[in-house]
Amino acid sequence: MKSFTIHLRKLVRINRKIIQELHRDETSVASLREAFDKRALHSRKMGELISDVNKDMLSDEESAVIQTLFDQFRRQSKKIQDALDVIIDRTRERLGDAVNQRRAEKGYQSLK
């Protein structure tokens, strides 16, 4: 049980780092990749431990801690998804602007 909670706490910390990285002006793809790899590792370890967790043997306090951590993890995951959606939308806009500018430059060049 303790190992399960430790991995869940680590996931919450990793998510916090991901959110911070996503809100930087210059997001580091390498840092994000490393954080998502660590997140996958801890998720996998939790999956291995889940069969050892007997819900009936958990105290009320342990259940409350796990529930709180899962709720925090879910909220963070939503924030991560929202931030990624914003980044994708901004990137699409910039790409569209660049394409339009390139077309305009080609059209101008053909008029010369």
3-state secondary structure of 107: helix
The residue count of the chain comes to 112
The amino acid at 8:
L
Q: Is the pLDDT assigned to residue 70 strictly greater than 80?
A: yes
What are the b/e assignments for 63-80, b being 16+ CB within 10 Å? eeebeebeebbeebeebb
The pLDDT of residue 79: 97
pTM of the model: 0.79
Give the pair of three-digit tokens for residue 50.
Answer: 């889940």
Chain mean pLDDT for the chain? 91
DSSP 52-73: G--GGG--HHHHHHHHHHHHHH
Mean pLDDT is lowest, of 49-58, 61-70, 76-85, for 49-58
Q: Is the pLDDT assigned to residue 1 strictly greater than 80?
A: no
Say how far apart CA 96 and CA 8 lie, in whole Å.
Answer: 40
Q: Domain residues of the chain, as ranges?
A: 2-111
* DSSP category for residue 59: -
CA torsion angle for 18, 24, 30, 33 (degrees, to 10)? Answer: 20
- Residues 11-60 have pLDDT tens digits of 999 999 999 999 998 889 999 999 999 999 999 999 888 887 777 788 88
pLDDT tier at 88, thresholds 50, 70, 90:
very high
What mean pLDDT is predicted for residues 75-98? 94
Q: 22 near 87, Cβ under 8 Å?
A: yes
